[in-house]
Amino acid sequence: MTQFFPCILTLIAAASLTVAGCSTSTPESPRRARAPFGHVDGKDVFIYTLRNASGMEARITNYGGIVVSLTVPDRSKKPGDIVLGYDSLSSYLTGKSYFGAIVGRYGNRIGKARFTLDGKEYTLNVNDGANTLHGGLKGFDKVVWDVDESTPATQPVLSLSHLSNDGEEGYPGNLKASVVYTLTDSNELRIDYAASTDKPTVLNLTHHSYFNLAGAGNGDILSHQVMLNADGFTPVDAGLITTGEIRPVAGTPMDFRTPAAVGSRIGASDEQLRLGRGYDHNWVLNRTGEGLSLAARVTESTSGRVMEVWTTQPGVQFYTGNFLDGTAVGKGGKTYAYRTGLCLETQHFPDSPNKPSFPTTVLRPGEKFSSTTIYKFSTQ
């Protein structure tokens, strides 16, 4: 597997804390709080609230590592929740859209739900036509993660870990995975991933928040301006499985190297848009070196919010909520209709275990996988 330099978390205590317009005064003020959220499989589920000194707040549950809400100030400093999600744990248990979740073992699709590694074929659980999607029937989005409760309340950090047993969903190896969420005073939600295994396996961890910078449930995302730092993308077949080709974006509706509104070309007469029912593709990022690199930039004019996505990963899946149909009743009773959220899932490429020309997703004993993605917010 492509290896990345380890990421060092630097947490800077702030002299003041602003929450919902109210200022407190000491750097030792609580930045992390916990509240009950229910029970799953006999395990307690909590919501952890992380707050920074700039008026930003993230609420994350240890069920699936789900970001339940992400409150970000607009240009007038009014806070607003910008991710789709639910008010109750029961809704997450029955939901099908992976709102805000950690996705694994393998994010995105593996064709025909099988792959061969070191001469042995592994058969996975099928949950997407003939394929496996986002880890299978019970992926990382559907488990209760362990929490490092020793993290001081003065640090806006949530450290999660999970042991995925050998054979789970058909994947080989006992895989130890960890995900650390950090809310920085620079209005960044930082996600650090790490994993190790005792048998050769494949791995592709990602995060699946649906963003609407105008506010969750406040209309569609078609006017959002998107820039993707990519000269190429990986086209798909009728089953949304990558063909193995890396195709230039130039001259196609996939070209977001210059910012463009999501809706400006999504209705174009284009085979890839037809197959994906819109944008649901992996872009091959323009990268230099192994450190953090800019993957995407999104702006929304009414709120003035800006989101930048930085990552150590080689790809990003841009998805425009093509399968949202208005049946999901979200936070505050708002329904999430067609294209009311967009995802930017940093990742290795889909179906890489069956595409030898793609960057490898194989993880072997003695190796450590690590990657970092940062969602950075500002206004203009």
By annotation, the residues acting in catalysis are: 208, 345
Please tell me the number of Cα atoms within 13 Å of 265 on its side-chain side.
15
* Order of all β-strands in the sheet with 32-40: 32-40, 43-51, 57-61, 67-73, 79-81
Question: Which amino acid does the sequence have at 29?
Answer: S
Alpha-carbon gap, residue 197 to 364, rounded angstroms:
6
Closest by CA position to 164, among listed 123, 199, 207: 199
Cα torsion angle, 244, 247, 249, 252, sign: negative
CA distance 181 to 375: 11
User: How far apart (Å, rounded) are the C-alpha atoms in residues 315 and 191?
Assistant: 16
Distance between CA atoms of residues 234 and 221, nearest Å: 23
Q: How far apart are CA 289 and CA 4, in angstroms?
A: 9
